[in-house]
């Protein structure tokens, strides 16, 4: 058995309970219902329209149909130096 103090055990239990209550509250409040919309919040209009060199043609066509004509990225946009 691992040696531990009562303070460590109580603190761990309180932190775990707090996190579980926060998760339960956010689920009941509706913060965890629409993951697709939440995942798109961080992107602005330019981000979703930039061409991505690693995308397949089908993904590129789908994104172009959804967001409009794609824009060629600036030099170094995807981490390259050129």
Domain positions in the chain are 1-33, 34-73
Q: Can you spell out the DSSP letters for 39-68?
A: HHTT--HHHHHB--TT--HHHHHHHHHHH-
SS3 71: strand
pLDDT band at 1 (very low <50, low <70, confident <90, very high): low
Q: For 10-57, what is each residue's pLDDT tens digit?
A: 999 999 999 999 999 999 998 888 888 888 788 888 888 888 888 899
pLDDT at 82 over 60: no
Model pLDDT, residue 18 = 98
Distance CA 38, CA 33 (A): 9
Burial of 48: CB neighbours in 10 Å, binned 0-12, 13-18, 19+: middle
Distance CA 49, CA 6 (A): 55
Model pLDDT, residue 21 = 98
């Amino acid at each position: 058995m691992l040696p531990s103090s009562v303070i460590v055990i109580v603190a761990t239990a309180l932190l775990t309970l707090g996190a579980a209550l926060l998760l339960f509250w956010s689920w009941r409040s509706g913060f965890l219902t629409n993951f697709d919309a939440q995942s798109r919040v961080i992107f602005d209009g330019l981000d979703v329209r930039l061409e991505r060199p690693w995308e397949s043609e089908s993904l590129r066509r789908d994104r172009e149909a959804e967001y409009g004509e794609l824009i060629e990225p600036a030099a170094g946009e995807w981490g390259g130096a050129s």
